[in-house]
Amino acid sequence: MSNTLEITNLNVSIGDKQILKDFSLTIPKGEVHAIMGPNGTGKSTLAKAIAGHPDYEITSGEVLLDGESILDMEPDERSRAGLFLAFQYPMEIPGVSIANFIRAAKNARLSEDEELNAPAYYKELYEKMDMLQIDRKFTARSVNDGFSGGEKKRCEILQMAMLQPSYAVLDETDSGLDIDALKVVSEGVNTLRGDNLGVLVITHYQRLLDYIVPDVVHVMYDGRIVKSGDKNLALELESKGYDWVKELAPAGA
Ligand code: ADP
Ligand code: MG
């Protein structure tokens, strides 16, 4: 289907351990889906497998971005195709400033005869940094180098705001954020919401979903989705904890 990020029967292993088990999920553009689940269930594995991380072996299944398979694409091709990943543990890139990093990523999206307009680029960068309440002195700082947890997460959303992907997967973007930073980051994501963006928010806690209100909530356990519902499902999980979720897994799993 076009205008969707469609994951079908995805099986993913790390070494000889199978993590994702016939995992299926379709995210239409314009919708925000949330995945919640206990630690170790495979949420980050899903994000990294979609991104094309080399440690995660896809043994079968399909991932279609607007109807086209991305599984044979390199991670940078997937990014140029419109996919964005915000990692649970963002990488530090000493020696590469935020401004140059995002500029290189934007340049990579232009054709050979196009050139990025530097003043327009900085204008956009500063506007979006202001939106995310990131101090302008960060422009010259190396990507994530010595950043606090919250600063890294804001920096990830800044990249997303600048690259304007079609689909964004945000892996525990709330971890390490205090309540003020959580609000800022959520507002940033909400500003980017719209008909041209599909979002998958991965979180362990319901709190984030008070600010980024999802259209659909999925509960993940042991490598697969065991229940889906509306935003109230997140509240149910919050009050009941994750223990009852185990009983929803298929027998013998
Ligand atoms: P979640 O994000 O839901 O907490 P993960 O996807 O990080 O779960 O992990 C799922 C399972 O895969 C866990 O058992 C974890 O120990 C294992 N795992 C994740 N990454 C690796 C890795 N790089 N090498 C080996 N095992 C891994
Ligand atoms: Mg994780």
CA–CA separation, 19 and 204 (whole Å): 17
**What per-residue confidence (pLDDT) applies to 67?**
96
We report the CATH number of the domain holding residue 71 as 3.40.50.300
Evaluate whether residue 253 is within a structural domain. no
Over range 39-59, report the average pLDDT. Answer: 95
Read off the pLDDT band of 43 (50, 70, 90): very high
Residue 134: pLDDT over 80: yes
Q: Is the CB of 89 inside a 6 Å radius of any atom of ligand 1?
A: no
pLDDT per residue as tens digits for the range 169-191: 999 988 878 888 889 889 999 99
CA–CA separation, 212 and 206 (whole Å): 10
CB count in 10 Å sphere of residue 201: 24
CB-based burial of residue 124 (10 Å sphere; 0-12 exposed, 13-18 middle, 19+ buried)?
Answer: middle
CA–CA separation, 203 and 41 (whole Å): 12
Q: Is the CB of 39 inside a 6 Å radius of any atom of ligand 1?
A: yes
| Rg of the Cα atoms in the chain | 18
Q: Which residue has the tokens 């314009």?
A: 30
**Residue 42 DSSP one-character state:** S
Print the domain residue range for 42: 4-248
pLDDT per residue as tens digits for the range 65-92: 999 999 999 999 999 999 999 988 888 9
b/e 82-114 (16+ beta carbons within 10 angstroms → b): bbbbbbbebeeeeeebbbebbbeebeeeeeeee
**What per-residue confidence (pLDDT) applies to 252?**
56
Residue of 14, 50, 58, 205 to test ligand 1 pocket, by largest number of atoms within 8 Å of CB: 14
Structural domains counted in the chain: 1
pTM: 0.93
pLDDT per residue as tens digits for the range 196-206: 999 999 998 88
Give, as residue ranges, everything with CB less than 5 Å from ion ligand 2.
Answer: 43-44, 88
